[in-house]
Structure 1
């Protein structure tokens, strides 16, 4: 094989060109491209860190705003409950006044009705006494044949009614 025979003669030349090629590759890649790639990676890391910091700040701000909203909501709820309680109390006072006025009207009507009933009862009793006195006069005259005066008959009926 002739290639193997030439190996000793071309060995030093091949190593030289290998070193030249790797040197050129090292210069272009190692000195030119790698720093740019490393800068890009560093910028990406910085951007990620900045984004994370912004997200954390935004979350903290959102939490603070939510807490402030909750405080305002609780204050509004308490104010609304106070308004409702005041309205209920006002309504209760108005109802009490209306009920008191209605009770007074009912009491006066009841008193008048009781007075009317009492007057009607007294009138009925007087009428019953009158009828009873006339009936007693008529009964005594028919049974005993004695004529009794109206005053005597009324006194007898009053005494009899007092026992009842």
Structure 2
């Protein structure tokens, strides 16, 4: 068979070209493309690591800013509560002062009114006694025809009213 006899001649030539092609591919891929790919991967890893470090630093700064804000907020809240307490105390003091002044004025007016009422009551009682004494004199004079003096009638009315 002639194909088998040519196999040795063509096999050596094909093997040579196979080695040359693989060598060329190895050289192109291994020496030219692979370092570029690896440098790109390394650059990407470094970029990701740098971004992660920057993100961590930003998070730490944000946490610190939040903590500072909370401290300031708490201080402001405490200051506001102190001011509210002071204002409330001032308001209570002012209200108590006004109330005390109003109470004093009311007590003064009530005392004056009680004095006027007592005077009016005394005057009314005296007038009632006078009217009752005159009515008693007129009644005695009409029914019995006897004349009673004003002093006697007043004494009888006082005795009847005061028990």
- Summarize the alignment of residues 77-96 of structure 1 with structure 2, pairs less than 5 Å apart: 77-96=77-96
1:104, distance to aligned residue in structure 2 (A): 1.1
Question: Root-mean-square deviation (CA), in Å?
Answer: 1.6
1:157 alignment partner in structure 2: 157
1:13, distance to aligned residue in structure 2 (A): 1.9
Cα-to-partner distance string for 1:6-57 (whole Å, 9 max, x where unaligned): 2211221221222122222212221121112111111111111111111111
Change (3 A) 1:118 1:2: farther
d(CA) in 2 for partners of 1:46, 1:2: 62
TM-score by length of 1: 0.91
Unaligned regions of 5+ residues in structure 1, if any? none
d(CA) in 2 for partners of 1:70, 1:10: 85
2:39 alignment partner in structure 1: 39
d(CA) in 2 for partners of 1:46, 1:155: 126
Change (3 A) 1:95 1:3: farther
1:141, distance to aligned residue in structure 2 (A): 1.9
Cα-to-partner distance string for 1:51-92 (whole Å, 9 max, x where unaligned): 111111111111111121112112111211211121111111
- Summarize the alignment of residues 34-73 of structure 1 with structure 2, pairs less than 5 Å apart: 34-73=34-73
1:110 alignment partner in structure 2: 110
1:12 alignment partner in structure 2: 12
1:2, distance to aligned residue in structure 2 (A): 6.3
Number of aligned residue pairs: give it: 163
Q: Secondary structure at the match of 2:59?
A: helix
1:25 alignment partner in structure 2: 25
1:145, distance to aligned residue in structure 2 (A): 2.0
1:100 alignment partner in structure 2: 100
Runs in 1 of length 4+ with deviation above 3 angstroms? 1-5
Unaligned regions of 5+ residues in structure 2, if any? none
